[in-house]
Amino acid sequence: MGWGRVVGAVVCTVKEPSLIGVPLLLLEPLNQSFATAGRPFVAADAIGAERGQIVIYETAREAAGAFAHRPPVDAAIIGIVDQTVRS
């Protein structure tokens, strides 16, 4: 599980039927200092995130569990970050 910034959206007219209605967003992974930490990737959005928001994502087979019908995805957005507390 990690966090990243929503930097865009992906639209596919032709797609696997179970992906219909599943928003696909472009995510830029971030490190602990909110700096870019890798190449952007596509994640299925389970909670209604918007561009610019910092979101929580999970990868691999568990990502499909974000949706009741378990679409074929390997990354899912599962939360929007409010704040972090460090000491």
Partner 1 sequence: MTIARVLGSVTSSIHHPALNGAKLLLVLPFGTSRAGLAVDGVGAGTGDTVLIVEEGAVAANYLGRTDPPVKSVVVGIVDVGLSVAEA
Q: What is the CA radius of gyration of the chain?
A: 13
Which listed residue (13, 39, 52, 84) binds partner 1 by CB under 8 A?
A: 84
The three-class DSSP label of residue 65 is helix
Q: Is 63 in the site for partner 1 (CB under 8 A)?
A: yes
Q: Which stretch binds partner 1 (CB under 8 A): 5-13, 17-25, 62-70?
A: 62-70
- The phi and psi torsions of 49 (rounded to 5 degrees) equal -80, 160
Binding mask 15-34 for partner 1 (x = CB under 8 A): --------------x-xx--
- The phi and psi torsions of 17 (rounded to 5 degrees) equal -55, -35
Assigned token pair, 44: 């299925």
Binding site for partner 1 (CB under 8 A): 1-3, 29, 31-32, 37-38, 46-48, 56, 58-66, 70, 76, 78-87
